[in-house]
C-alpha cells in the first residue's frame, strides 16, 4: 500500500502532466493559426507524449493500490507573440517540470519508498531528454532566424515528427 503523502504527490504530478498536455495543445493550435503546420504537428506529438506521462503515473498509482484523484486542470496561455517564444516558454515549462520531478524523488526518499524512487528514475532521464529537445529547437531559432526561409525550413523539419497513439504511449515511450 502506498503512503498517503506519496499518493498525494503523484496525484499532483498527474495534474501537472495533464496541464503540460493542455499547454502543448494550446501551443499547437496557435502554430496552426499562424500557418505553421509543421510546428503545430510537432507540438501535437508532444501533447500526446504528455498524456503518456500522466498515464504512466496513473498506472503506477493503481498498481501500488493507491487512488487516482483527478483535479481541475488550469487553463494554459492561448497567445504568443512569436514562434520562438512558444518554444522558449515550453523550455521554461520543462525546467519547472524537472524541478517537480526532483521534489517527488525527495518525497519518495524521505518516506523511504524505494520502489517509487526507482519508478521515478525513468522521469528523471526523460526530463534530461525533454530539456535538451526544447533547448535544441530554441538554439536553432536563435542561430537561424535572421536567414530568409529559416521559418519555412524549420517548420518543414519539425513537421516530420511522428505522432503516436495515446493508448500505446505510456508503455512505448
Ligand atoms: Fe511530462 Fe514534458 O514533461
pLDDT tens readout for residues 14-34? 999 999 999 999 999 999 999
Would the CB of 20 count as within 6 Å of ligand 1?
Answer: yes
pLDDT at res. 161: 85
Cα-Cα-Cα-Cα torsion 53, 138, 86, 133, nearest 10 degrees, comes to: -10
pLDDT at res. 173: 46
> CA 5 to CA 8: how far, in whole Å?
5
- Nearest CA among 99, 73, 77, 97 for reference residue 86: 77
First to last CA, the chain: 27
What is the mean predicted confidence (pLDDT) over 60-66?
A: 97
Reduced DSSP (H G I as helix, E B as strand, rest coil) percent helix, strand, coil of the chain, to 5? 75, 0, 25
> CA 75 to CA 114: how far, in whole Å?
34
Q: Which atom of ligand 1 has the smallest separation from the CA of 130?
A: 2
Residue 166: band (very low, low, confident or very high) from pLDDT cuts 50, 70, 90? low
Q: Where are the domains of the chain?
A: 4-171
Would the CB of 113 count as within 6 Å of ligand 1?
Answer: no
pLDDT tens readout for residues 79-110? 999 999 999 999 999 999 999 999 999 999 99
Cell numbers 529537445 correspond to 133
Distance 146 CA to ligand 1 centre (A): 30
pLDDT at res. 169: 57
Q: Which atom of ligand 1 has the smallest separation from the CA of 17?
A: 1
> CA 158 to CA 43: how far, in whole Å?
9
Give the predicted TM-score (pTM) of the model: 0.93
pLDDT at res. 162: 78
Would the CB of 158 count as within 6 Å of ligand 1?
Answer: no
pLDDT at res. 168: 63
Would the CB of 97 count as within 6 Å of ligand 1?
Answer: yes
Homologous superfamily (CATH) of 4-171 is Ferritin, core subunit, four-helix bundle (1.20.1260.10)
Would the CB of 48 count as within 6 Å of ligand 1?
Answer: no
Distance 65 CA to ligand 1 centre (A): 24
pLDDT tens readout for residues 113-147? 999 999 999 999 999 999 999 999 999 999 998 89
The residues, any chain, with a CB within 8 Å of residue 132's CB and separated by 6 or more, are none
Would the CB of 94 count as within 6 Å of ligand 1?
Answer: yes
Amino acid at each position: 500500500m502506498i503512503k498517503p503523502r506519496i499518493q498525494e504527490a503523484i496525484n499532483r504530478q498527474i495534474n501537472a502532466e495533464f496541464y503540460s498536455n493542455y499547454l502543448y495543445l494550446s501551443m499547437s493550435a496557435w502554430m496552426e493559426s499562424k500557418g505553421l503546420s509543421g510546428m503545430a504537428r510537432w507540438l501535437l506529438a508532444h501533447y500526446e507524449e504528455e498524456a503518456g506521462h500522466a498515464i504512466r503515473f496513473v498506472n503506477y498509482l493503481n498498481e501500488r493500490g493507491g487512488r487516482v484523484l483527478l483535479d481541475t486542470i488550469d487553463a494554459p496561455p492561448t497567445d504568443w507573440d512569436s514562434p520562438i517564444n512558444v518554444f522558449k516558454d515550453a523550455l521554461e515549462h520543462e525546467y519547472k517540470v524537472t524541478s517537480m520531478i526532483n521534489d517527488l524523488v525527495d518525497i519518495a526518499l524521505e518516506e523511504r519508498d524505494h520502489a517509487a524512487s526507482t519508478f521515478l528514475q525513468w522521469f528523471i532521464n526523460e526530463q534530461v531528454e525533454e530539456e535538451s529537445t526544447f533547448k535544441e529547437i530554441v538554439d536553432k531559432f536563435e542561430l537561424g532566424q535572421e536567414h530568409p526561409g529559416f521559418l519555412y525550413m524549420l517548420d518543414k523539419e519539425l513537421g516530420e515528427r511522428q505522432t503516436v497513439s495515446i493508448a500505446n504511449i505510456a508503455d512505448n515511450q
